[in-house]
């Protein structure tokens, strides 16, 4: 199960969101040396606003394992506004209401046994597509390190480069990409990884009023899975 964290649900997932920003700082500012904004020990950018939808995979204690930010590109996006050179046909052609950007993708300790990280990574991809499809999003765009392009092509099946790589000032280079959000792609990925149930889970609005936490939602889901009842 992958948690879909909208602005309305941030109180439920406050602990995980704080952990996500800390991990982002560790990976992007400390690890990659990118010059990004730092605040309260975490990394933030202008995309972390109320339009941002975070997807999160949690462990059985509610600890954050994988996260990504999905966000509309209409007013601002990393690809269209900071890395426009990655789009050969012109970044503005992508400034449409039915396009989301995926960014700040992080993963931590995904697998303990052979192939486990691969399965979990596939669950996360399917959840991203499900969450986007539910909001009538037609395409997800983003940028990937050139060294990971082959991985992205294989993992996403329908990923297409949007242009030639652009070299970062800090070193390395990125390629812009787009992924169509279609039932066909979702179904092929589900079949490929033998997924029967939907992967994305969005807590109902009542969760906010009840004071339930992300960890409790995860634990409740796991308990139901163990007892054979699917949420």
Tell me which residues touch another protein (CB under 8 A). 26-27, 31, 59, 66, 68, 88, 102-118, 120-121, 142-156, 160-161, 163-165, 167, 171-173, 175
| Alpha-carbon gap, residue 82 to 190, rounded angstroms | 33
The residue among 91 and 103 lying less far from another protein, judged by its C-beta, is: 103
CA dihedral for 174, 47, 6, 223, sign (positive or negative): positive
Instruction: Output 175 or 203, the one with its CB closest to another protein.
Output: 175
- Please report how close the Cβ of residue 162 comes to another protein at its closest, in angstroms: 8
Range list of H helices, the chain: 14-24, 116-134, 149-156, 183-192, 206-210, 214-226
Between 101 and 202, whose beta carbon lies closer to another protein? 101
Q: Distance (Å, rounded) from C-alpha 214 to C-alpha 164? A: 40
CB of 166 to another protein, least distance (A): 8
CB of 155 to another protein, least distance (A): 5
DSSP state letter for 9: G
Backbone angles phi, psi at 20, to 5 degrees: -60, -45
CB of 28 to another protein, least distance (A): 11
Other Cβ atoms less than 10 A from the Cβ of 115: the count is 8
For another protein, give the closer residue by CB, 12 or 80.
Answer: 80
Residue 195 Cα distances to 11, 45, 131, angstroms: 30, 34, 16
**Minimal distance in Å, beta carbon 205 to another protein?**
30
**Cβ closer to another protein: 12 or 70?**
70
């Amino acid at each position: 199960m992958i948690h879909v964290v909208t602005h309305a649900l941030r109180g439920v997932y406050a602990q995980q969101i704080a952990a996500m920003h800390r991990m982002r700082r560790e990976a992007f500012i400390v690890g990659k040396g990118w010059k990004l904004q730092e605040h309260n020990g975490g990394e933030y950018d202008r995309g972390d606003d109320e339009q941002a939808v975070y997807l999160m995979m949690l462990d059985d204690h509610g600890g954050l394992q994988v996260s990504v930010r999905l966000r509309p590109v209409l007013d601002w996006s990393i690809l269209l506004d900071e890395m426009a050179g990655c789009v050969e046909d012109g970044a503005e052609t992508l400034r449409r209401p039915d396009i989301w950007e995926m960014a700040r993708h992080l993963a931590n300790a995904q697998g303990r046994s052979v192939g486990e990280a691969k399965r979990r990574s596939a669950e996360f991809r399917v959840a991203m597509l499900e969450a986007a499809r539910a909001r009538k999003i037609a395409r997800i765009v983003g940028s990937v390190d050139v060294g990971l392009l082959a991985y992205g092509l294989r993992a996403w099946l329908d990923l297409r480069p949007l242009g030639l790589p652009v070299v970062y000032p800090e070193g390395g280079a990125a390629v812009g990409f787009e992924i169509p959000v279609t039932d066909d792609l979702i179904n092929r990925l589900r079949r490929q990884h033998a997924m029967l149930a939907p992967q994305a889970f969005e807590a109902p609005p009542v969760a906010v009023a009840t004071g339930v936490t992300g960890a409790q939602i995860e634990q409740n889901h796991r308990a139901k899975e163990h007892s054979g009842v699917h949420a």
